[in-house]
Structure 1
Amino acid sequence: MSVDKKPSRSLARIAGIVAAATLISKVFGLFREQAIAAAFGVGPVIDAYAYAYVIPGFLLILLGGINGPFHSALVSVLAKRDKSEAAPLVETISTLVSFLLLGVTTVVIIFAGTFIDILAPGLETATRAIAIQQLQIMAPLAVLAGLIGIGFGTLNASDRYWLPSISPLFSSLATLVGLGALIFYLGDRVQAPQYLKLGGMVLAGTTLVGGIFQWLAQVIAQWQSGMGTLRLRFDWRIPGVADVMKVMAPATLSSGMLHINVYTDLYFASAIQGAAAAMRYANFIVLTPLGIISNMLLVPLLPVFSRLAAPENWSDLKIRIRQGLFLSALSMLPLTALFMAAAVPIVRIVYQRYAFDAEASAVVAPVLMAYGFGMFFYLGRDVLVRVFYALGDGETPFRISIVNIFVNGILDYFLIKAFATPGLVMATVGVNFISMMVLLWILHRRLNGLPLLEWGLSLLALIVGTVVAGFASWGACWGWERFIGTGNLILQLLQLGLAFFIALGIFILFAIQLKLPEVNILTSRIRQKFARR
């Protein structure tokens, strides 16, 4: 039996809940970044914070993120167990993780100066002092990251999706309130040298407070669901603890390997002026829809994968794997067509103002095209990794991630010579594509055969539709710019809107002709919603 508290919602409804909550969280995250920029600009406080947040931010993404290893491990195990077993298991895992991460926190606090010097050896003395203090303040986020990740998994396993998806909002609100109080107290003096240290403390402190609020909100919800309290448990022999750790440990290492690939890309990017900035700007644009859609797909699918992990359910599991891959394709490939066809208008609308001029847009646009090309492979690989987690196998994705570090480095070395900055992104796309193919082949052998040829032909047809949609969208952008122009923001938005609807319309026509079950399900649900309204 699973830990479901109530009848399981449909995947479509879960996806809608997750999408709405994630979108709200991202909107408040945008407000948070705008407030930080308004308060501190690009001065020493933000320089220091950028380096001080590297370690806490890495841990929050790695351990505390939705679809992270802690979340995935808890869901994959709890979904297979009776609810009566959940609370002791969650409390035991929380105790173990807390003590391990308390050690990490202690090390970060004691050696904060060393970590800052390693990350940023060229910082000025005053900025370095602010960064060290900020890192020490934010060090407890290491513990909170693990507990937040556990909370995500526990609540999703109990069929609660709204709070985990919207909980990052609490962090943004804490920062907004803290910065508002600081500006109210100091006014225009917030940038005065004697107050920079105070500003740095407030920024780091509100980041920590936000993490605390996010965790507390989850603890209360866990308590109400009967999924564990703050009780310390040290009985490692509780059934399920070993199963969780079996998935959690290699999954954490596997996810960590992905960040090593990011650092590898940045190492090569340092040889090209502006490359790291271009990758950052383009990556932000891609991650906005990718983050929302990936949460919509992966959050509801992971418990389903876990419930179908037994051999007698493999026929249904294969159907769900197909559904995950094709929903990834149907959601990502239209965006691929748009990003590759309209990269320049997108970058122009999002960034081109003040110091970010037309020349900067020309640098970032090709990088955005490369990121857009790889969106489906990124999400498809993530779907397949979650299948392995559901099967209780975190070791296989970890081994593949280890190999990927070397493959990524080799591809970086050759592709940067051929394509400069976009080549670094293409290397990452290549790694994701190879990983996806390898994971599919292993699942094909482990699950006694997958209809790979049938899936491959259908996906190839969707890719052909993407190419046609992309060329038509590009033609629309070119024609608009030649005959109408893009002299103001309204014209630019109309140009992008035309490109979007052409790309989406042509892709939908291709998808409908293929008579894919996923398309039929999606269109029927849309019709039902409009009929009810």
Structure 2
Amino acid sequence: MGLVRKFATVGGATLGSRVFGFARETLMAAALGTGPMADVFYAAFRFPNLFRRLFAEGAFNAAFVPLFAKEIEANGVEGAKRFSEEVFGVLFTVLMILTIGMELAMPLLVSWIIAPGFADDPEKLSITVRLAAVMFPYLMSMSLTAMMSGMLNSLHHFFAAAVAPIFLNVVMIGALFYALYSGAEPALTAWYLSWSVLAAGVLQLAVVYGGVRHAGISIGLRFPRFTPNVKRLLVLAIPAAVTGGITQINQIIGQAIASGKEGAIAALQYADRIYQLPLGVVGVAVGVVLLPELARALKAGYAKEAASIQNRSIEFVLFLTLPAAAALWVLSDEIIRVLYERGAFTEQNTAVVASILAIYGLGLPGFVLIKALQPGFYAREDTRTPMRFTGVSVVINSALAISLFPFIAERGIATAEAAAGWVNTCLLFTTLLRRGDLVWEWALAKRAARLVVASAVMAGVLVYLSERWSGWLQPETQLLTQVAALGALITVAMVVYFGLAFAIGGADLGMIRRNLQRGTRSSARSSESLSSDGEQ
């Protein structure tokens, strides 16, 4: 399967998850708006989500995948299975201890870290503690899910791991439907949602476990032992855990600051959900596929092939995220109005959330490029350098958020996150270039400049059309008409951008064909290497 086809497989499954996520957030906006219960739920949910990114997805995608790939090449499937069981035993034990400790300390964690701004409202604080206590065990399910997803990605079984997140949105949508149907109060709705998160975590774990069994590996629970392989994993995973959760680290800082203003946390969450669509579809696809591809190529000695894969990933990111960033900047008001403005979500809420979304749009290419650049370090078992850059970006984010929040409120937090993301991207890119792990291509630079031009022209067309069609996008208009008008704007934008990008040389069919063939050759070489190792 070619590199771009693998991106499409993961991206397609992620797109399905994001579509369900939109449906979930639309129902959430109608049920809770940006009121106090929305703030409470999102504050409580952010905490297990933070740990999931720090200790599950980031750490295991960065540390586990290269070591698992090395075990497959060195000792075959049996060696990889033994390594997986060793890791599973240690991980399960650590997660159990962590969960118990966090549950006991939850009141202090909420007061000092999750939402210090709630300290003056005892009822709000109490509900947040209870909801966070219900949802925190979700971390345990998702950490084990992340490990098995890493196994599946290394074995080139991408779909099960990519489709699993859909179940979180499906279960939460079910809870929201039930709450709306039964006329539940906001506090009871938040309670239903908390239990649905926990149930979804168990379901996601079952899905990826079934995928691992289907791939031919059965994992048994071993007594936890710190073997050399496990120790090596921990050495790599600790800095990777910090690095992989950069967005969540910055968001938890922003949430702590935003908790001082009612409605701010929910407003940031609603905007975040929109920009997570291109970030998830492109960024997650690139991150999931690129790391095992680079690890396999480097382990097999194909350094030139690895550099080419890295550049093609950057090209793929720019091709799709530059127009998405321009569209989010220009159409932020229209997108938020059509998707959210109904029920408890007012015109004033639309103005606030749209301004946040526009700023997130400017940071989008940087956020996604991080996903394409970090694997260049992780595949070489260097997790410390990205961690240092993460530290720099967190300092920048904190300083800007604290400085800007008193003046421009939620927009200050979004500005801080976007700026921190771009600083991290520049540090990663220049370091890879300096080390010679990333090869500068003038052809790629010229294509990127032409893609910027195509995106700017597309943005101009959208500004003109959105003004002409504004009457069809107002809340007084029927929802179907609003959706059709927004869909027409997006369709025109795609035609203008892709047509111009190909016309002026920002992209060409030959380039795409070469990328597909290059990805196929890389996979073939990795398979040949694996076969020859097995014969030895």
Q: Which residue of 2 aligns with 1:143?
A: 140
Is residue 364 of structure 1 aligned with residue 353 of structure 2? Answer: yes
- Contact 1:88–1:233 (CA<8 Å) still a contact in 2? no
Is residue 262 of structure 1 aligned with residue 251 of structure 2? Answer: yes
- Contact 1:76–1:303 (CA<8 Å) still a contact in 2? yes
- From 392, 395, 406, the counterpart of 2:384: 395
Matched residues in 2 for 1:116 and 1:269: separation? Answer: 14
Q: Which residue of 1 aligns with 2:499?
A: 509
Q: Deviations over 1:293-322 (max 9, x none)?
A: 223322222211111235942211221111
- Contact 1:90–1:228 (CA<8 Å) still a contact in 2? no
Q: Which residue of 2 aligns with 1:91?
A: 85
Q: Deviations over 1:37-91 (max 9, x none)?
A: 88889999767644443432322343444xx321332222223332232111111
Q: Deviations over 1:217-256 (max 9, x none)?
A: 3223323434341321544335x43443333211102234
Q: Which structure exhibits the higher relative contact order, with contacts defined as CA atoms closer than 8 Å and separated by 6 or more residues?
A: 2
- Contact 1:76–1:390 (CA<8 Å) still a contact in 2? yes
Q: Deviations over 1:407-429 (max 9, x none)?
A: 22333456568866434323322
Q: Which residue of 2 aligns with 1:57?
A: 49
Matches within 5 A, 1:148-163: 148-163=145-160
Evaluate the alpha carbon distance shift between residue 490 and residue 113 of structure 1 in structure 2; reply closer, same or farther with a 3 A threshold: closer
Matched residues in 1 for 2:432 and 2:186: separation? Answer: 60
Matched residues in 1 for 2:186 and 2:482: separation? Answer: 39
- Structure 1, 302-311 or 429-438: larger mean CA deviation: 302-311
- Contact 1:477–1:495 (CA<8 Å) still a contact in 2? no
Alpha-carbon offset, residue 162 of structure 1 = 1.6
- Contact 1:87–1:229 (CA<8 Å) still a contact in 2? yes
Alpha-carbon offset, residue 340 of structure 1 = 1.9
Matched residues in 2 for 1:499 and 1:40: separation? Answer: 29
Matched residues in 2 for 1:40 and 1:438: separation? Answer: 40
- Contact 1:511–1:519 (CA<8 Å) still a contact in 2? no
Alpha-carbon offset, residue 267 of structure 1 = 5.0
- The 3-state SS of whatever aligns with 1:111 is helix
Alpha-carbon offset, residue 389 of structure 1 = 1.0
- The 3-state SS of whatever aligns with 1:121 is helix
Evaluate the alpha carbon distance shift between residue 106 and residue 192 of structure 1 in structure 2; reply closer, same or farther with a 3 A threshold: closer
Evaluate the alpha carbon distance shift between residue 511 and residue 523 of structure 1 in structure 2; reply closer, same or farther with a 3 A threshold: farther
- From 60, 70, 88, the counterpart of 1:70: 60
Q: Deviations over 1:501-532 (max 9, x none)?
A: 34323322342245467754548999xxxxxx
- Structure 1, 270-279 or 495-504: larger mean CA deviation: 270-279
Matches within 5 A, 1:439-450: 439-447=428-436, 450=439
Is residue 103 of structure 1 aligned with residue 97 of structure 2? Answer: yes
- Contact 1:314–1:447 (CA<8 Å) still a contact in 2? no
- How many residue pairs get aligned? The number is 506
Evaluate the alpha carbon distance shift between residue 216 and residue 30 of structure 1 in structure 2; reply closer, same or farther with a 3 A threshold: same
Q: Which amino acid aligns with 1:93?
A: V
Evaluate the alpha carbon distance shift between residue 191 and residue 470 of structure 1 in structure 2; reply closer, same or farther with a 3 A threshold: closer
Q: Which amino acid aligns with 2:102?
A: V
Is residue 13 of structure 1 aligned with residue 5 of structure 2? Answer: yes
Q: Deviations over 1:104-150 (max 9, x none)?
A: 1111222233334443424445x655554444443433322321110
Alpha-carbon offset, residue 448 of structure 1 = 6.0
Evaluate the alpha carbon distance shift between residue 290 and residue 97 of structure 1 in structure 2; reply closer, same or farther with a 3 A threshold: same
- Structure 1, 278-287 or 264-273: larger mean CA deviation: 264-273
- Contact 2:85–2:219 (CA<8 Å) still a contact in 1? yes
Q: Which residue of 2 aligns with 1:333?
A: 322
Matches within 5 A, 1:289-308: 289-308=278-297
- Contact 2:297–2:303 (CA<8 Å) still a contact in 1? yes
Evaluate the alpha carbon distance shift between residue 140 and residue 491 of structure 1 in structure 2; reply closer, same or farther with a 3 A threshold: closer
Evaluate the alpha carbon distance shift between residue 336 and residue 174 of structure 1 in structure 2; reply closer, same or farther with a 3 A threshold: closer
Q: Which amino acid aligns with 1:143?
A: M
Q: Which amino acid aligns with 1:25?
A: S
- Structure 1, 473-482 or 312-321: larger mean CA deviation: 473-482
Q: Which amino acid aligns with 2:161?
A: P
Q: Which residue of 2 aligns with 1:3?
A: none
Evaluate the alpha carbon distance shift between residue 517 and residue 317 of structure 1 in structure 2; reply closer, same or farther with a 3 A threshold: farther
Alpha-carbon offset, residue 164 of structure 1 = 1.0
- The 3-state SS of whatever aligns with 1:227 is coil
Matched residues in 2 for 1:494 and 1:39: separation? Answer: 24
Matched residues in 1 for 2:508 and 2:268: separation? Answer: 33
Evaluate the alpha carbon distance shift between residue 154 and residue 520 of structure 1 in structure 2; reply closer, same or farther with a 3 A threshold: same
Q: Deviations over 1:267-289 (max 9, x none)?
A: 55467776544433322211123
Matched residues in 1 for 2:470 and 2:495: separation? Answer: 21
- Contact 1:345–1:496 (CA<8 Å) still a contact in 2? yes
Alpha-carbon offset, residue 265 of structure 1 = 3.1
Evaluate the alpha carbon distance shift between residue 292 and residue 235 of structure 1 in structure 2; reply closer, same or farther with a 3 A threshold: same
- Contact 2:14–2:163 (CA<8 Å) still a contact in 1? yes
Q: Which residue of 1 aligns with 2:525?
A: none
Q: Which residue of 1 aligns with 2:106?
A: 112
Is residue 427 of structure 1 aligned with residue 416 of structure 2? Answer: yes
Given the two structures, how large is their TM-score scaled by the length of structure 2? 0.82
- Contact 1:340–1:370 (CA<8 Å) still a contact in 2? yes
Alpha-carbon offset, residue 327 of structure 1 = 0.6
Q: In structure 2, list runs of 5 or more residues that go unmatched.
A: 517-536
Matched residues in 2 for 1:286 and 1:182: separation? Answer: 27
Matched residues in 1 for 2:252 and 2:438: separation? Answer: 37
- From 119, 122, 142, the counterpart of 1:121: 119
- The 3-state SS of whatever aligns with 1:353 is coil
Q: Which amino acid aligns with 1:506?
A: V
Q: Which residue of 1 aligns with 2:70?
A: 80
Q: In structure 1, list runs of 5 or more residues that go unmatched.
A: 1-8, 527-533
Q: Which amino acid aligns with 1:431?
A: A
Matched residues in 1 for 2:153 and 2:310: separation? Answer: 19
Q: Which amino acid aligns with 1:433?
A: W
Is residue 252 of structure 1 aligned with residue 241 of structure 2? Answer: yes
Q: Which residue of 1 aligns with 2:367?
A: 378
Q: Which residue of 1 aligns with 2:219?
A: 229
Alpha-carbon offset, residue 376 of structure 1 = 1.0
Evaluate the alpha carbon distance shift between residue 18 and residue 435 of structure 1 in structure 2; reply closer, same or farther with a 3 A threshold: same
Evaluate the alpha carbon distance shift between residue 513 and residue 451 of structure 1 in structure 2; reply closer, same or farther with a 3 A threshold: farther
Matched residues in 1 for 2:299 and 2:55: separation? Answer: 27
Evaluate the alpha carbon distance shift between residue 173 and residue 497 of structure 1 in structure 2; reply closer, same or farther with a 3 A threshold: closer
Evaluate the alpha carbon distance shift between residue 423 and residue 510 of structure 1 in structure 2; reply closer, same or farther with a 3 A threshold: farther
Q: Which amino acid aligns with 1:69?
A: A
- Structure 1, 77-86 or 467-476: larger mean CA deviation: 77-86
- Contact 2:167–2:200 (CA<8 Å) still a contact in 1? yes
Matched residues in 2 for 1:343 and 1:36: separation? Answer: 19
Report the aligned-residue RMSD.
3.6
Matches within 5 A, 1:206-217: 206-217=196-207
- Structure 1, 264-273 or 338-347: larger mean CA deviation: 264-273
- Structure 1, 16-25 or 284-293: larger mean CA deviation: 16-25
- The 3-state SS of whatever aligns with 1:462 is helix
Evaluate the alpha carbon distance shift between residue 404 and residue 331 of structure 1 in structure 2; reply closer, same or farther with a 3 A threshold: same
- Contact 1:342–1:499 (CA<8 Å) still a contact in 2? no
Matched residues in 1 for 2:27 and 2:498: separation? Answer: 39
Q: Which amino acid aligns with 2:146?
A: G
User: Alignment identity in percent?
Assistant: 23
Q: Which amino acid aligns with 1:348?
A: R
